[in-house]
Structure 1
Amino acid sequence: MNFNKKTLQKKIIDYKRFGFTLIALSTFLYLGVIIPAEGKTLVKIYMLMGGTVVMLGTSFLFFLKAIKYKKQLHSMEN
């Protein structure tokens, strides 16, 4: 993977932005779980929690990818 510095910087910014967006979305899904509502079934709660976990996991992967590219950028500068 031979990227130039500008491409790596853009990738780092994008992956961080994706990660924060997924954290925000998972927060809204979790709020849907904890706020009481009439007609909320157990299946809906499990679906919301499953979506929350999937989004948090994907966000974690995006942050790991950003860290990887940041280390790669740092090693290119030295």
Structure 2
Amino acid sequence: MDSKVIREIKVKIQDYQHYGIVLLSLSSFLYLGTVIPFAGKDTADAVVCGSASLAGLGFTALMYYQAKRLKKRLQEYQ
């Protein structure tokens, strides 16, 4: 296997992990928006924040799944 391809796979793994960290941070921030009470917040705001938080967690899982899949591919090539 070419070292250029291996390097590209390693970069993609790092990118997917970084995307996962950012999405996890965003999801936790949105979850705090649903949990912490404040004046003027209605049910629709909580539903939107909760849904966005769950969607972010789903995309986080997808990013880590892709990183894990690429790690397996990298081990096969080496």
After TM superposition, the score normalised by the length of structure 1 is 0.93
1:67 to 2:44 alignment: no
Equivalences, count = 75
Q: What value does the CA root-mean-square deviation take over the aligned residues?
A: 0.9
1:43 aligns with 2:40: no
CA distance in 2, matches of 1:42, 1:57: 22
Aligned pairs (5 A) from 1:1-78: 4-77=5-78
Distance 2:76 2:61 in 1: 23
CA distance, structure 1, for counterparts of residue 72 and residue 9 of structure 2: 10
Distance 1:26 1:15 in 2: 16
Cα distance in 1, alignment partners of residues 5 and 75 from structure 2: 12
What amino acid is the match of 2:22? Answer: T
Deviation at 1:27, TM superposition (A): 0.6
Unaligned runs of 5+ in 1: none
Structure 1 stretches of 4+ with a deviation exceeding 3 A read: none
Name stretches of at least 5 consecutive residues in structure 2 with no aligned partner.
none
1:72: how far off? 0.2
SS of 1:7's partner is helix
